[in-house]
Amino acid sequence: MLLDYNSLLLAVGFSAACLSLTLFGTWLTARSDKFLLTWAISVLVVVAEVFTYNAYIKTPGPALGVLTLALLLLGFSVMLGAAYQFRTGRSPLPRTVLGVGISFAVTLPPMALGSDGLGFMLENFLAALLLFATAYEYWKGRAEAPAPLIGVTLLYSLTAASFVLCSAVLVQDGKLVLGHAPSNWAEDLSLVIVIAALTGIGGLSLALNQMRLARHHQRDAQTDALTGLLNRRALFDLHGKTAVGAFTAVVVFDLDGFKAINDEFGHAAGDEVLKVFAGELSGNLRPNDIAARMGGEEFALVLKRTMPEMVEGTAERIRMAFAARTIETEAGPLGCTVSAGFAFGSNEGTSFDKVLSAADRALYAAKRSGRNRVLDFRRAG
């Protein structure tokens, strides 16, 4: 049985080592996903624990026992930090430090003082808590990809339950001092579960990362890099094939005299003007409104469930706020104005292209009539 247990333990170690290398390699190809590096480090610490524990089985002693417990709890604490980092994008350190602080304070003193049975009871219990906390982090983020994240949550929870079982068996046995590594059916079962869970969690998590990368690439392809707004392609993907109803409006904005700004102040100043206007645009929208940069100095809004006076009020508010801004650039302060035109769909539904063209005509009528104004297509004449 000891040989079988050692074989299982080494299988866990080599499986975890392969997973850590895979995670590290994946991180090298997508360094923006820093949670992969954190997770790779956590698994590597667990690998170190496995081989340290294997040494403890052969020559039990307080020093190796403390090191074994410390490595396992450190690895699981970093794993908790990686899950938090995956969900939020924030630093894993607070979760990691909290996990390490509590688990070390509870489990290491008994082991150091020779009560190895109590130490292993507490270690298994604290390890389970850390794994359940990790599962909960993924559960909280399940909206991103429900099926894979629920699968990861269940696998972490199953692994945590196996550690609870190990602790329960040791508590039932009631020995505070063992003098050797725990050896019972719960330990064997836990190793089998860990091997299966490592495989499942690794596969699902790598799939999740690929899904996230695909979404990032799609978002990059649909976002204007300078302003952070949607680009023309994204706007047409959303609305180009949909008929525009009578209560949906398209507003087109064009910055007045923008070429002169570029010529006089330079393109860096022009870029700053575009970013400032994009900020005014975003700051005056309702949650369901959509803003896009059409190209150059032209922008568009799509406003749903609205009326002409509401659209005109929104466009005027943006126009006046932008006109009142003094924009600081490397070439000095400058001011700029914007003209706008808007048009509505129809009860029967009008193609997006036609409504956009009507708003464009209203915009150019505003330009011809003096700039720095908003015109309704119906009054553009």
Give the lowest-confidence range in 77-86, 99-108, 189-198. 189-198
Contact 339, 367 (CB under 8 A): yes
Q: Which residues pair with 251 in a beta bridge?
A: 301, 342
With 90 as the cut, is the pLDDT of residue 332 above it? Answer: no
Q: Is the dihedral of CA 10, 15, 16, 21 positive or negative?
A: positive
Q: Which residues pair with 338 in a beta bridge?
A: 255
Six-digit token pair at 142? Answer: 């399940």
Q: Which residues contact 181 (CB under 8 A, 6 or more apart)?
A: 53, 56, 57, 60
With 60 as the cut, is the pLDDT of residue 242 above it? Answer: yes
Which of residues 14 and 90 earns the better pLDDT score?
Answer: 90
The CATH homologous superfamily of the domain defined by 230-380: Reverse transcriptase/Diguanylate cyclase domain (3.30.70.270)
Most confident of the following: 146-155, 196-205, 371-380 = 146-155
Does domain 2-222 fall into CATH 1.20.1070?
A: yes
Catalytic residue among 144, 297, 298, 328: 297
Q: Is 297 a catalytic residue?
A: yes
**What is the CA angle 14-68-19, rounded to 5?**
25
> Hey, where are the domains in the chain?
2-222, 230-380
Six-digit token pair at 167? Answer: 């602790």
Instruction: Tell me the pLDDT tens digit for each residue of 293-326.
Output: 998 999 999 999 889 899 999 999 999 999 999 8
pLDDT of residue 317: 93
Confidence at 1, pLDDT banded by 50, 70, 90: very low
Confidence at 381, pLDDT banded by 50, 70, 90: low
